[in-house]
Amino acid sequence: MFALALMLSGAFSASAVGQERARSSAQRYSAEQEISRVNAEVRRTIAEVKETLESLLELQEQDAERLARQLESRAPLLEKGYISRLELEESELALARARARVEDTRQQISLADMTLAEVVARALLLRLPPLPSGGYSENTELVRYNGGARWSLADAAKIERFFADRFGHFLPVSARGQTTLHERMNFDHRNALDVALHPDSPEGRELMGYLRKAGIPFVAFRDRAAGVSTGAHIHIGRPSLRLASP
Residues of the chain with pLDDT under 70: 1-32, 34-36, 38, 224-230, 241-246
Instruction: For residue 219, give the nearest of 82, 121, 149, 85 by alpha carbon.
Output: 121
CB 182 within 8 A of CB 134: no
Looking at residue 82, what is its pLDDT?
A: 87
Looking at residue 227, what is its pLDDT?
A: 54
Kindly report the pTM of this predicted structure: 0.73
Looking at residue 163, what is its pLDDT?
A: 98
Looking at residue 78, what is its pLDDT?
A: 86
Pairing label, strands 193-195, 233-236: antiparallel
Residue 235, φ and ψ in degrees, nearest 5: -100, 110
Tens-place pLDDT, residues 34-78:
666 767 777 788 888 889 999 999 999 999 999 999 999 998 998
Region of 94 (left: φ > 0; alpha: ψ -120 to 50; beta: rest) is: alpha
Looking at residue 245, what is its pLDDT?
A: 46
Looking at residue 11, what is its pLDDT?
A: 46
Angle at 163 between CA 120 and CA 233, to 5 degrees: 10
Looking at residue 45, what is its pLDDT?
A: 84
